Chains A and B, each alone.
Chain A
Amino acid sequence: MWFGNKGNDNDVAVSTRVRIARNLSGYPFPGRLSAEQEKEICSKVAEIYKGKEWKINDLSKLSKAERESLADKHIISRELAEKEGMSEYISNKAGDVNIMLLEEDHVRIQAIEPGFNVKTAMEKAYKAEEILDKNAEIAYSEKYGYLTHCPTNLGTAIRISVMLHLPSYTRAGQIRELALQLAKLGLTIRGEDGEGSSASAYLYQISNQITLGVSEDEIVERIEKIIGQIIEGERSMHEKLAESSKSAIRESARRKYGMLMYSESISSKELTSYYSDLRLAAASGLIKLPVEKLDELMIRSKPYTIEAEHKNTSSPEERDRARAALVREIIGNAEI
């Protein structure tokens, strides 16, 4: 699994995701497929990704919480988790490449890496894409490139998304300005998961918006360059902060850590509000807490994931208790 592991530029970057959309020639797009055709596409693609390396997962056999938990972990999209009827995804052994079937497009290949690592995510995603290309007729036109359900994905049909923790940009009121600048460069920024939680973790996803008329290499180059600059900007503000208010930040982070350690029950909102400050202090080297463990905690403590992974957690109160235990399990033996 990608989370819980160290990655490049982990102090600011949480994860890097590459998503490639592909469709099979000769079929309408999802939503206009007959049940018969849905089955046909699923078994066709399943036949292509057979063998020890791949596993077919039938989402209709999972509980609501189990499906939503896969979306919490960015293994599948929220749309697929909530899709009715036939829904499947194919995963590789390592769990870092996942292929969604019959989402917005027939096939969506996703690769996810911890930290900021576009190259590795691209390599893994395209390795899986080549298998499909070799064994199926992919819808393509010389003018519009890879043909996708929505014209916003035409051309290369790739979306590269990097999740960043940007407390300094946020506190400086710079997110809107950043969004305007990024828009000019063909990139977008949005809140993590596109969800607005009342207590923010200051996590943002930055992705390429334009997919047609720019090659894959150009998209990668642009993302690497611009996100590299944003990471540098956030990092330099961390350094300034660590210089100017070192003891105040450390004190505040240690108190928060203590609160978390000795609580018997923690709400999702409360944990989220602590996450950002602890991560900032850890990233600035003011407390000794691995940031990747904090990121793992953020994912595994989400309500659906707790419900999917722990017994007797169907009520919020029970989940809050399980969350407190999870905190101790994941970051409990850090010597901060």
Chain B
Amino acid sequence: MLCEKCNKNEATFFYHENVNGQVRNYKLCADCANELQKNGELNIKDFTSSPFDSIGKFFANPFKSMDKLFSGVFGETPSLLSSISSGRPAAKCDCGMTLNDFLENGMAGCPSCYETFENDIEPTVKRIHGKTVHEGHSPARFREKNDLKKQIEKLEKERTDAVSSENYEKAAEIRDKINELKNQLKGE
């Protein structure tokens, strides 16, 4: 397939344009495509010899652009900032990180920062993820705790049932089991 402009080089650019319902298809070589774009006859932002030249600016580093968004909490909406840090402008984590620094850098200083500033950073977390509470896996030490809690809940239901059917012996047995599990939970 030859370039439709110069009819010499092989066409490597296939560009489909739809302007107000007017459809045009281009078949061009790299040189002609570049030339047309330079003259402004062709606006191939989405498709140049390197799609990343244009697109890459947005997506080259989503983390970086996220960071900017994050620190943008400051620049764009000072009212939000003042509500975030009202009363605790210099709140400090044990690691030395202040709330101010955390929000400005967009990076935490240590894992405990998230506990220290848990409520202060909530609007920012919501801005990034759209949600503020984790769902999904947890470390084994939390899973065991959750399992115990669930087991206790289940037994408590069984005990209520046993009491209402006047099976007091069984209810007492279940109560002992519940106490045992509760002690385990405390011991963790």
Contact = CB atoms under 8 A, between A and B. Distances in A.
Contacts of B36: none
Interface of A: 23, 25-29, 32, 133-134, 137-152, 154-156, 170-176, 179, 186, 188-191, 194-200, 202, 207, 209-218, 245, 248, 252, 277
Contacts, number: 184
B134 A28 contact: no
B153 interface: no
B168 interface: no
B186 interface: no
A148 B107 CA distance: 9
B87 interface: no
Interface of B: 1, 10, 12-17, 44-47, 49-53, 55-56, 58-63, 66-67, 70, 95, 106-111, 114-115, 118, 121, 124-125, 128-142
16 contacts: A28-B110, A29-B107, A143-B134, A146-B134, A148-B108, A171-B14, A173-B15, A173-B17, A179-B55, A188-B59, A190-B55, A190-B60, A191-B60, A197-B52, A200-B52, A214-B136
A156 B134 contact: yes
Contacts of B131: 210, 212-214
Given A32-B110, A155-B136, 11 more contacts: A28-B110, A137-B139, A143-B134, A150-B108, A151-B124, A154-B129, A155-B135, A173-B16, A190-B55, A191-B52, A210-B129
A278 to B, nearest CB: 13
A176 B53 CA distance: 12
Contacts of A141: 114-115, 118, 134
Nearest to A173: B46
Given A28-B95, A175-B46, A215 B10 contact: no
B138 to A, nearest CB: 6
Candidate in A23, A146, A217 with the most chain B CB atoms within 10 angstroms: A146
B17 A175 contact: no
Contacts of B106: 150-151
A210 B127 CA distance: 11
Contacts of B49: 198-200
Given A151-B125, A175-B51, A216-B137, A142 B142 contact: yes
Among A26, A151, A190, A213, the one with the most B-chain Cβ atoms within 10 Å of its Cβ is A151
A interface: dominant SS: loop
Q: Which 7 A-B pairs have the closest CB atoms?
A: A213-B131, A145-B134, A139-B111, A190-B59, A215-B136, A196-B52, A191-B52
A29 B108 contact: yes
Contact of B107 (A137, A149, A194, A218): A149
Nearest to B46: A173
A147 B111 contact: yes
B130 A210 contact: yes
Contacts of B56: 190-191, 194, 196
Contacts of B114: 141, 144, 147, 154
A197 B137 contact: no
Nearest to A213: B131
Given A143-B132, A151-B124, A156-B134, A27 B51 contact: no
Nearest to A129: B137
B165 to A, nearest CB: 36
A212 B50 contact: no
B51 A191 contact: yes
Nearest to A31: B107
B130 A147 contact: no
Contact of B135 (A150, A175, A190, A215): A215
A145 B129 contact: no
A133 B137 CA distance: 11
Contact of A199 (B46, B50, B55, B62): B50
Nearest to A147: B111
Nearest to A177: B46
Contacts of B62: 188, 190, 207, 209
A29 B55 contact: no
A137 B141 contact: yes
A207 B46 CA distance: 20
Given A152-B66, A154-B134, A175 B118 contact: no
Contacts of B111: 23, 25-27, 29, 139, 147
B51 A170 contact: yes
Contact of B47 (A23, A171, A189, A245): A171
